[in-house]
Structure 1
Amino acid sequence: MALDPERRRQLHAMKLRSLVSEHLGDSTQDVVGTDDGALATLSRDRVAALAEERPERALGGALASAVRAAATEIHIFASGSSDVLARRAQLFSNAITVWEVNDGDVTPAVASDTATRKPVPDVPELVSTLNESGLEVVVEHGVIVGEIAGLEVARIISDEYGNRIEVGVGAHDREVFALLHGNMPTVEAIEQVANVVRSHRLPAAEPHPLNRLGAERWLRSHLVSKPERVGASELVTAPPPVQRTNLKEAVPAVATGRLADGTDVVVVCAVGIDLDLIPFAADARLFLDPQATLMVVIPQRDAHSILYELADQLIDPASVVPIDNDWREWTSS
């Protein structure tokens, strides 16, 4: 039986109180349990956070909590991904300590290196098929996919059975499509799925799951097509610092390129308010080009003031660039 959400939040708050008392010798003045962990205000201008669920996303919330409390010291207790959190924490000017919590043992976390670039399958014929079908070819962490306006409709699979294109929106859809239309020629199969997706990712399209999935990748697709919208002369898709696990996971979309003045830039696109956006974006720059200018692009409605504050706290600050709320109505012409 699943734990009641309110009870889970209470347990998270209790766990953080215990960790703070035992390992920081402090008491919590104010603690709030969340679905993913807990946040607490301590004495002496300090805050603490518990990263229990989706721990790699805890840094942004901890930084925002420190801003609200005017704290100068942050402690994060993480049950997983402590190495990623420690790596991202080093990119900020704040005093941040990440603790690894493992079976009751609490030790300082060691920052990991950025991800190793994975080899890309050498399948030029299959890539040509994606291109000739009018798809946007995107390569991330060794995986080649074909997208329509940022939404995957085909993927190149390389395994013990050989190299092939599987068609569908996500893993489940690919399996179902193969069962129902396994004998359909690949080009025809791509066209059938692409036309359905294309009809829903157009200006003035009615609300539909196919125009809600991967909104951040749709925004990136617009900017790659017309980089001048954010002052760039050219942009190409780039992999995120941590591999996306499934199609429904909202992971900021990344691009690299040059600004109009020739400066190298890393652009990170997101849709919706995400407190962890700035740590993620800084990690993306570290992964792709540590010397580049960092630009975080979001719709105007999502440009909360806290994002600007967190961007300014980076050792190498980022620019938050709000764009039209009606960006879905943009055209490529």
Structure 2
Amino acid sequence: MKYWKRKFFAALLFVVLIFATMLPAVAATAAENKLSNQFPPSHHISKGLAIFADKVKEYSQGRIAIRIFDSAQLFKDTEIVEALQDGLVDIGLVATNKWGGMIPAADVFDVPFLFVGLDSPKKFLEEGAGEILDKEFVKFGVKNLFWVDYGFIQMWNSKRPLRTPADFAGLKMRSYSAGDSETLKALGAAPTLMSSSEMYMALQRGTVDGATTGMPAGVSRKVYEVQKYLTIANYSTAEFSVQSNLDWWTGLDADSQEIILRAGKDAEAWIREAIVDSEAEAEKAVRDAGLEVVVLTPEERAEFVKATQSVKEQFVKHAGEIGGQLIALGDKLFR
């Protein structure tokens, strides 16, 4: 009997040891979190998100893993806000203007000609805009992890050079947000709100005559293949942020939260540094592709500012007190 007892306890110990060795692997799997990204891997924002994932892994010593799904494999840019709120994905890259329906003040980055340089969003957010918007996101079940600068939005089309507001008459233009649509209307175009993942096909088929998007995104999505003209107007910034489901976030321990925010700051800084080079490389690629590139003169830009002043006024009226605070902050910093 003693022999069989020894055999039994030896077998039991073996099973316990097997389960013990499996626990780290189980824990690692449980800590893998999905991040939805609508940009292709070649875009500088996607590269910045990869840095975020790498830093999370490094700082957590492998305890937390972020798995990125590029090119809208999980959710389109028009779907990501609802997906985050419903907990269908843990983390996602969100265009701030996609909150415009619930948080009208979030459309502030679409206000034309509010900012003057690529460093403007950083100043704007750090001087108080970031805190104001963060509080609004939390009210709708989402936690802002870090900001993602995009660079300036430009105007592409297949019909003619766009040097004055009058040149937009009759053009069907893809827009990326409600605020962008208002700007296009003010300039005389007919906007169609469309996901970035659907833009190329619409331009190729002639469903729309042109589109508003940044130069790096235009190059990543090969917009230059189906367009003839690019107008560099630098009229809005289309800020993004990486956000998470609030319940997922509050379920993390304090150490994990600190690691994710720290990694986010690293990625945020890297993306901002990458923008300048990315913009220059994209413009070169567009010119090499044979597009006619129009760079607005100060006088021409002034005409665009004048034509879109009503959009700024509409924003303040629609976004209420918070919108007014944000515009006042922008005017204080950049006017």
Q: Same fold (TM over 0.5)?
A: no
Q: TM-score, normalized by length of structure 2? A: 0.26
> Which structure has more helix as a fraction of its residues?
2
> Which structure has more strand as a fraction of its residues?
1
Q: Which structure ranks higher in relative contact order (CA pairs < 8 Å, sequence separation ≥ 6)?
A: 2
Q: TM-score, normalized by length of structure 1? A: 0.26
